[in-house]
Structure 1
């Protein structure tokens, strides 16, 4: 049984943790050190005990990620909470919980796998203190100060360029140039296979570049020759990037604390796959989708600035100057977001807001009232998602769009 197969069986067992009719795979019994004749309850008890063994030491900071991963497993599989209840308990978005759960179970699988294959791992990995989460040591360091600095850097990038999206093709080309110096005498080739065009992610270009360079470098460190292949595709609401090295000459576990911390912040995830002499990073990042923003405002100069503000972002501005024409547009092509001025030459903006909230095509569309009229309480009472006073600057405008559309749910 491979690590990937074991992880699959572990996920299945955890999803049926309290199901008395569940019948695990025979090899999974052996890997967990249980005998089938003892009944499925013995296996379930063993899984609960293994999760409890991962509780971090008391001195571990409450905000450390290793503690959050343990708490997630505890809430889900020991206390039996749903994902929604766990998200509320940990004060995280449901999407973030789903990603973290994938990572936590993968880490649990790796730990259990190492316990059963300690003779093949360098440095006695399986002999670690059971009270510590089994994260391999990484050059980037585990210090709280380092993690805090990473978050500060990302906050700075987001503030300097809010809403910016990154075209994957350009980011890959840049990373390929930088990583060329990692392969002496061309002993390792880098091959890029992007079958889909116009793939983009909601991650700053500098951040994506560092993720790609680090992943390629980590693979190269375990190879002396061969090929690293980078592939990408859209899957559901994510962009999946697979970076594969072959042949791999080292059996050292592939891990990057830097990549894990960055992905945790931006709402991504990663996993490592191994098969014979092949090893790969599978990275998932939130895909950038075009967001149609209908701006209802008679001030053409101001709309010109809105278009400049949204260059390079996922937002596409559509302008309607008269309130009477709004419903012609929404019936033809409903927008994803509406920015509404309540002082219009042909309509009462407040009545228009009410009508938009009653119209079938726009009753659930986020609406931002952006006006010189200082009536935030009235705007919200009539159904506006947000109120933003004019004049509005670049960062304030993009942040309002992000907040209204619900695109920034990751704490930084």
Structure 2
């Protein structure tokens, strides 16, 4: 029988190392909860813990200032989202000592939930509770890609560095196929709005797909800017002295081929990019990847809490949005007319002039009335904010995903 205190301690350790595979693998908790050996998948220890946090989410009708919401928010933002103690405490409007007491209470409740699950597994018996290794369900593609969305998916990526990495990775395969890969970059390409691992894997998979099917001895990879995207084309090339060998377009467009491209297409879709299969004038196949470039649109952040200002600014790093900081309502009104931000993120609890007054002034002034306003506060007055003209309302603590989604929603392309 597992000692309950030992079990609770392992739960605490697992929460604090939720994205550290080596540490999770070393814990007995994995066996106690009948988790599968890997790090991803619906029955991995990491996913079991994340699902258990989500199981503590209160019902929608529960008041936002209820203790159950505090427990859920602490577990979600501190451990699943990876925010620091100071950041979560600041967004919840709590002193650090008070916050630490609430965090200890949240972890205890979380551990109690998992302890009940462990007892159910033990009582059911090894044969009924556990699945043999050969019977584990295949992890869904979405599960394996979820971590990209949790790690700040809107990032700035330099394509030149990605090309170098892809060339190194595919060099052995290209030699085995007798194909030479040529990389061509137009100078001064803008940064890509995509996670570096996502574009690297999309390119590796797509280029490997071409190497496996081409009859040519050379493949050309070229990148250039097309409006708001960078277009990367992959196509076979012939030597100047010989025509390109004939290839059937069906080889690249039949269902099995399109299935092989499903992963890179999904990776690009996550960042509003796409992957197309086409043909050049000679009839040879061509694969085209399109990835959005980074656009840094000014966003006015009206917040007097330095910790929150620093956190939100970090959220916007690598995103299409550039923070412009105002620590008071008066400064916000001045900067709004000077910078012409595409949106404003407004705190309510500020000295001198609070956020409600600022919101009223913004919506009444002809130069700022059309600027979308997102109210972000520890208060729960959503309906009041919307009635005063706010375009969206975020209840603190706010995750990076929530902030970027709100900005994407209110800022029109």
Relative to the length of structure 1, the TM-score reads 0.56
Deviation at 1:216, TM superposition (A): 1.5
Please, which runs of 5 or more residues in structure 2 have no aligned partner?
1-136, 239-243
Distance of aligned partners of 1:285 and 1:361 in 2 relative to their CA distance in 1, 3 Å threshold: farther
Show CA shifts across 1:136-195 (max 9, x none): xxxxxxxxx99x923333344212334334333332222222121221179433222221
| Aligned-partner Cα distance in 2 for 1:357–1:167 | 39
Deviations 1:94-125 (A, max 9, x none): xxxxxxxxxxxxxxxxxxxxxxxxxxxxxxxx
Answering whether residue 253 of structure 2 is matched by residue 251 of structure 1, we say no
Q: Give the whole-Å Cα distance in 2 for the aligned partners of 1:379 and 1:196.
A: 47
Q: How much has 1:371 moved relative to structure 2? A: 1.6
Match of 1:346, SS?
A: coil
The offset of 1:384, in angstroms, is 1.3
Any conservation in 2 of the 1:357–1:383 contact (CA below 8 Å)?
Answer: yes
Q: Aligned equivalents of 1:265 and 1:302: distance in 2?
A: 27
Pick closer, same or farther for the CA change 1:359–1:194 going to 2, 3 Å: farther
Q: Do the aligned residues in 1 keep the contact of 2:180 with 2:218 (CA within 8 Å)?
A: yes
* Residues in 1 aligned to 2:259 and 2:234: alpha-carbon distance in whole angstroms: 17
Change beyond 3 A, Cα 1:185–1:157: closer
When the two chains are superposed, the root-mean-square deviation of aligned CA atoms in Å is: 3.0
Structure 1: gaps spanning 5 or more residues: 1-144, 408-412
Q: Within 5 A, what are the aligned runs for 1:114-125? A: none
- 1:71-150 aligned at under 5 Å gives the runs 149-150=140-141
Return the offset for 1:378. 0.7
Provide the rounded CA distance (Å) in 2 between the counterparts of 1:293 and 1:309.
Answer: 12
Q: Calculate the TM-score normalised by the size of structure 2.
A: 0.56
- CA distance 1:271–1:397, shift in 2 (3 Å): same
Q: Which residue of 2 aligns with 1:25?
A: none
SS in 1 for 2:252: coil
Alpha-carbon deviation of 1:388? 1.4
User: Which residue matches 1:291?
Assistant: 297
Query: Which residue of the partner structure matches residue 332 of structure 1?
Result: 338
**Are positions 1:180 and 2:181 aligned together?**
no
Distance 1:358 1:244 in 2: 56
C-alpha contact 1:223 1:250 (8 A) present in aligned 2 = no
* Aligned CA distance change for structure 1 residues 368 and 190 (closer, same or farther; 3 Å): same
Which residue of structure 1 lines up, in the alignment, with residue 217 of structure 2? 226
- Post-superposition Cα deviations, 1:192-216, rounded to whole Å, max 9, x if no partner, equal 2221424334333222222211221
String of CA shifts for 1:9-41, please: whole Å, max 9, x gaps.
xxxxxxxxxxxxxxxxxxxxxxxxxxxxxxxxx
Query: Quick check: 2:183–2:222 contact (8 Å CA) kept in 1?
Result: yes
Structure 1 counterpart SS, 2:223: strand
